[in-house]
Amino acid sequence: MSVWAIGDLQGCYDATQRLLEKIRFDPAQDRLWFCGDLVNRGGQSLETLRLVHSLREHCVVVLGNHDLSLLAIGERSPEEQRKVNPDLQRVVLADDARMLLDWLRMQKLLHVDRDLGWMMVHAGLAPKWTTTLAEKHAREVEAQLHGNGYRKLFRNMYGDKPNWAPHLSGHDRSRAIINVLTRMRYCTPRGRMAIEEKGAPGRQAQGLYPWYEVPGRAERDLKIVCGHWSTLGLMIGHGVHAIDTGAVWGGKLTALQLDTDEIRLVQVHGRDVPPPPKGELPKD
């Protein structure tokens, strides 16, 4: 049995199939961890979502910001749905859209496996969050996402503010938790996020740190695997394994084996497109 974490798919179905073949994935004995952002931009989001859904008994998924956006779009009127990009339109207007979206909504924001020694999140953690705190805050939002209040959550989750603070309540609290778990890249030592900063480390404004390098950050008892940050690329350090290697931008799709003491990576070429022009950064 092998356990593999896989970076952001973003609708790159062909690359996903190539990667599963290269790691010789056997659903009878292997398990997959998907780091979120299954959909958007790759042109094959519907096929990708159907593939991961077909593997649902053999995989764990955490939601990324693009997945949450898709779920919110799925609750809009058909007229509004026809205004979104064609890749997501194909998902929300598909005959099996309700089944796929209902399944996607029931996925996690954070996955923890203490026996394996790993946790998975799409983007990152607030500097002061221990593993236990991160679990607690993720479960708060998951309870809304998985319950009857999900439509209200989708209507109120958009926005860059407020920054996370323990005293927050209501929609502000849920929005701040979602932003940390699905959009975090840089922040101040006090945990104030800089959502607008998206480049590789070394290009950020003074006083900002990658979330995993903040001085005085909490000690965490598990290794972390995450995605979201394509301009960072493959980064292994500080107990963090960031594996969004820009498949949708013409980079690579990466799998990291988790059930081994060695660092074992497998990669395939992503979508056959040129990367963004120099100086132009991918959007969230």
Contacts for 101 with CB less than 8 Å, ≥ 6 apart: 70, 71, 74, 91, 92
Model pTM greater than 0.75?
Answer: yes
Q: What is the pLDDT of residue 276?
A: 57
Ordered structural domains, the chain, with CATH: 3-269 (3.60.21.10)
Give percent above pLDDT 70 in the chain: 96
176/167 Cα distance (integer angstroms): 11
Distances (CA, A) of 14 to 34, 51, 75, 191: 16, 11, 28, 38
pLDDT band of 19, cuts 50, 70, 90: very high
**Amino acid identity, position 245:** T
For range 131-142, the mean pLDDT? 98
For range 1-21, the mean pLDDT? 97
Q: Give the residue among 84, 62, 65 at the shortest CA–CA distance from 75.
A: 84
Q: What is the pLDDT of residue 32?
A: 98
Query: Residue 60 pairs with which residues in a beta bridge?
Result: 33
Give percent above pLDDT 90 in the chain: 93
pLDDT of 37-56, one tens digit each?
999 999 999 999 999 999 99
